[in-house]
Amino acid sequence: MALSLPTRQRRGVASDLPSPSSSRSKPDEKEDKRKRSEEGQEHKAIGWFLPLFALGMLRYMSATSNIIHDCDEVFNYWEPLHFLLYNSGFQTWEYSSQYALRSYLYINFHELVGLPASWLFPDDKVRVFYAVRFFLGLVSVISDATLVVALSRKYGKRLASYALAMLCLTSGCFFASTSFLPSSFAMYAMSLSSGLFLLGRPASAVAVAAAGVILGWPFSILAFLPITIYSLARRFKQTFLAGAVTSLVLLVLSVLVDYYYYKRWDVICFFNLLQYNVLGGGESHLYGIEGPIFYLRNGFNNFNFCFILGLLFPAFLPIARRKYAPDLLIVVSPLYIWLGFMSLQPHKEERFLYPIYPLVCVAASAVIESFPDLFRDKYNPHDNSWPVVIAKFIRPVVLGLILSASHARTFSLINGYGAPLETYKILEHYDDVGTGSTLCVGSEWHRFPSSFFVPEYISEVRWIDDGFRGLLPLPFNSTLGGTAAAPPHFNNKNKASDEQFLRDIEACTFLVELQLNRPYPTRGSDLSTWEPIAALPYLDREFSPSMYRSFFIPYLWQEKNVFGMYKLLKRVSK
């Protein structure tokens, strides 16, 4: 009886009686296990130092060695920035107040670094150029490091380490990270937004996404939809307020800034750009069209096997669903949405894929990490059968192959197409010709590296007619109102203006020309008129085999490829 009494008393304790919460005991246990699992992952996760250091080193290398891949980067971003800093530079029709497709808010964001740099280096515009590039690299470092740390805390060190290696070394990320382009800014926002989402901060993730769309590239809104929709579903009120407030503040700021420059209250560049390209039937085909596999070919060039593995992520999802669904699937889904949407557009450019570049690395990392799961017994997580062991061994082999091919691609581009930047730097050593000199550029106008590389003693840069019949940029005209001007020679049909060419070639002091092995003479071939003062090799894309020009293969790269000479010529005094 003495022993049974406590037993009966124990059964009578109120806390042990059934309660409404008892039906939720199993879900609560699962939630506790999930939290303990995440705490364990965080304990084993990669810290901030490694990704910041590794990405910092590689982004520094990118800032100092990156070429300019697209003339749009120069004429729509570097040149307006140069005008704001030095009151000179080229203007495109998109910056005419008649069309106002580009917001100066994005330029002002970079002016925050460019202006102090111009004070610090008043006589060296090239250093100002690289100061802005270092800033771009720093933003890339912070956003990508956030993504790596988030992956590490959520999915472990291995997957995060693979992603870090690819973010650092794949050619696509290496070059896009320090390009002065809205699509690069959208890429930074994609990395940061994805990282914040995985860290359990949906409101911050949506706020960053809004900044990437409004301050960066409006078209990238499609790529941010999965994270935005899922974040709203998780925490609607907080997330909605964060996104709405960020959007409203940036839109108001954009209107105020653009009024200051365009002198028009009715200018909302965000909507003007969307209207021209989407609602207004913008004639993007005027600037070139490509076939449906353009982005697949381009993706392989910039990411090699990483791109293929990234595309295979959905096929691996049934095997690794427990690990990656739904959060990682939400994060990488823009890769397929954006790739499919952009492939349907007739006008294609490499930079249009920049926003999803980090997601290629994440998706490929998840696939490589899941190799052993293809052979592992799903009821035995500790299965170490020989297929599983081989799959584990293949993981670093595949990663090494990706990184080696990436280095080959990066080396080929820098050494094959780096001549324009280096050629223009030589101009600073010929200031003995005196002020008022004229630099002339013919068919190489699209490789002009920006006015940051044109010394002060050169009063103007002029285009000479080499057969191009499209509309070329012309200098900002302060007399007509500078940024508020609507020059009559601009149009949105890509039709050449009579004012864009210099007719009197005798007025040229310097000439930039690419001399290729062709059967027709070039302007600089008359040595009685022109003296070459610089000549650097430039890869002849037309006559070089695709494989050898795309990837550096020791010995064969120099042997198989054909090179022209990128020349800077000075007029011979008579």
- Tokens found for residue 163: 């992603």
Q: How confident is the model at residue 279 (pLDDT cuts 50, 70, 90)?
A: low
Find where tokens 């003339």 sit. Answer: 71
Which structure tokens are listed for 236?
Answer: 């609607």
Supply the pLDDT for residue 11: 42
Mean pLDDT to the nearest integer, 319-339: 91
- The order of strands in the sheet holding 437-441 is 458-463, 437-441, 510-515, 563-571, 530-539
Q: What is the mean pLDDT of residues 328-346?
A: 94
| pTM recorded for the entire structure | 0.90
What's the residue count for the chain?
574
Cα-based distances in Å from 486 to 259, 348, 482, 491:
14, 28, 9, 10
Predicted confidence (pLDDT) at residue 31 exceeds the cutoff of 80:
no
Which of 432, 427, 453 shows the shortest CA–CA distance to 511? Answer: 427
Q: Which two tokens stand for residue 152?
A: 């590490």
Q: What is the pLDDT of residue 476?
A: 95
Q: Is the pLDDT of residue 39 over 80?
A: no
Identify the pLDDT of residue 411. 96
pLDDT band at 290 (very low <50, low <70, confident <90, very high): confident
CA 55 vs. chain centroid, Å, equals 15
Q: What is the Cα–Cα distance from 329 to 214, expressed in whole angstroms?
A: 25
Q: Which H or E run contains 406?
A: helix 386-417
Q: For residue 86, how many C-alpha atoms fall within 13 Å in the half-sphere facing its CB?
A: 28
Residue with token string 């990437």? 212
**What is the average per-residue pLDDT within 99-114?**
95
Residue 26 clears pLDDT 70, i.e. is over it: no
pLDDT at 286: 62
CB–CB of 401/389 below 8 Å?
no
Q: What is the pLDDT of residue 8?
A: 40
Two tokens at 285? Answer: 């085909």
pLDDT digit string, tens, across residues 363-398: 999 999 999 988 887 767 777 888 899 999 999 999
DSSP annotation of 501 reads: B
Highest mean pLDDT: which range of 29-38, 279-288, 495-504: 495-504
pLDDT, position 5: 39
Cis amide linkage into residue 326, ω under 30° from 0:
yes
Residue type, 128: V
- For 432, other C-beta atoms within 10 Å of its C-beta total 6
Amino acid at 520: Y
pLDDT at 282: 56
pLDDT at 24: 46
Three-class DSSP labels, 225-261: HHHHHHHHHHCHHHHHHHHHHHHHHHHHHHHHHHHHH
Tell me the two tokens of residue 365: 């990392």
Q: Are strands 510-515 and 90-91 parallel, antiparallel or unpaired?
A: unpaired
pLDDT at 19 over 80: no
Q: Higher pLDDT residue, 523 or 203?
A: 203
Q: Residue 285 is which amino acid?
A: H
Q: What is the C-alpha to C-alpha distance for residues 16 and 482, in angstroms, rounded to an integer?
A: 80
Note the pLDDT of residue 280.
53
- Look at residue 492 in the predicted model and tell me its pLDDT: 86
Give the C-alpha separation, 310 to 445, whole Å: 36
Q: What is the pLDDT of residue 288?
A: 67
CA-CA distance, 538 to 246, in Å (whole number)?
A: 45
Looking at the predicted structure, is the pLDDT value of residue 21 above 50? Answer: no
What percentage of the chain exceeds 90 in pLDDT?
73
